[in-house]
Structure 1
């Protein structure tokens, strides 16, 4: 039986796992989670305490949380040390950057989106300003980090986390021109085949983005 991934094509954390699966060329079945697929929703609801996707099913194993799923894929399905290296210090560095993108890029991006979901007409300006300021700090830090990171064609846990986080963060709070390394890397990531598949798969759902589709990417 092939792996099954339960999620939605417009979900950033679903992207995170999809990128790993595509890059590692792992066979899997995608299970859409929406109102039209209640059986898939039931699987997600049974997996974790807050019924959030993505969820991976591998036989009797049911895993939730995108980073955990990628750790599992690295151990059991991805070739070699592609996603996470076995050398402990190298793995620690990759896991640290995974948390940077989830907590300091995806987190404040989602905070802005949540405000528009809460009240699209009058979102809380102070909360949005605070989240945008956090994104500015993250962008500045990443610009410096990219001086030392070999931003090639590899797909590791870092790229799996970075691509969806930067894709949507730039929609919410555009990366400024004085962060050229980060702007170039975002474009580079979106050209990677495993990422491009996710970008294309999400296109039919762009009208649902609370702040509007910026008409690019």
Structure 2
């Protein structure tokens, strides 16, 4: 087995890549990294000094592949399966990359800002930054509501890279900043994502670690049930 993914099971960006791997039943090995432990963190920093997870190692092709979107495109090109995650048609591919970046930058990033602020040391909280992050999420929710009108998946008719990005971001964002009641398209899209077997598997593997999530007290009971 040539593929190894260095990850943490609670990290939403790691879930994004896991979903892509599970969509195509791609064989790989998981190695859990504790970035708070310097020895464990070396598994990542020794391969990608920026120290961000996940990182994919492909011994068959002698490649280290960082950054979630690049990892998924790499898998789509060199380890394709029955579910193409990036359309061949150029315009559709551009739209897919656009919505992939959208979910990363305007859902996952502000969600993480809110989460991390809760565990800052006393006196180091950033209420203004958190308020800005909540505003970004609410704007993103409105844009997703419009995008999802009359469609099942983020771009076109098929599950794609964009949906791999959407699922973990929306899962944790919905906990820290619940969806508005008047966004039925967003809510329905979220339920379709949760029902997708690849997404359900990634979340099931994360569940034992939910006690580490700073907003664990706000998680709906259905997400905590085994």
2:161 matched residue in structure 1: 157
Equivalent residue for 2:75, pick from 73, 76, 81:
73
Change (3 A) 1:32 1:181: same
Change (3 A) 1:171 1:120: farther
The reply to whether residue 105 of structure 1 matches residue 107 of structure 2 is yes
Q: Is the CA contact 1:23–1:155 (under 8 Å) kept in the aligned structure 2?
A: no
Shift of 1:38: 7.0
The reply to whether residue 135 of structure 1 matches residue 157 of structure 2 is no
Q: SS in structure 2 opposite 1:108?
A: helix
Q: SS in structure 2 opposite 1:47?
A: coil
- The farther-off stretch of 79-88 and 24-33 is 79-88
2:213 matched residue in structure 1: 209
Structure 2 matches for 1:51-130, cutoff 5 A? Answer: 51-59=51-59, 60-79=62-81, 82-119=84-121, 123-130=125-132
For 1:3 and 1:155, locate their aligned partners in 2 and report how far apart those are by CA, in whole Å. Answer: 23
Shift of 1:193: 0.6
> Root-mean-square deviation (CA), in Å?
2.2
Equivalent residue for 1:200, pick from 183, 187, 204:
204
2:15 matched residue in structure 1: 15
For 1:79 and 1:90, locate their aligned partners in 2 and report how far apart those are by CA, in whole Å. Answer: 19
**TM-score relative to the length of structure 1:** 0.92
Unpaired segments of 5 or more residues in structure 1?
none
Deviation by residue 1:162-183 (Cα, 9 ceiling, x = unmatched): 0000001001100111111111
1:172 matched residue in structure 2: 176
Change (3 A) 1:81 1:209: closer
**TM-score relative to the length of structure 2:** 0.88
Q: SS in structure 2 opposite 1:98?
A: helix
Number of aligned positions between the proteins:
217
Change (3 A) 1:124 1:36: closer
Q: Is the CA contact 2:23–2:83 (under 8 Å) kept in the aligned structure 1?
A: no
Unpaired segments of 5 or more residues in structure 2?
none
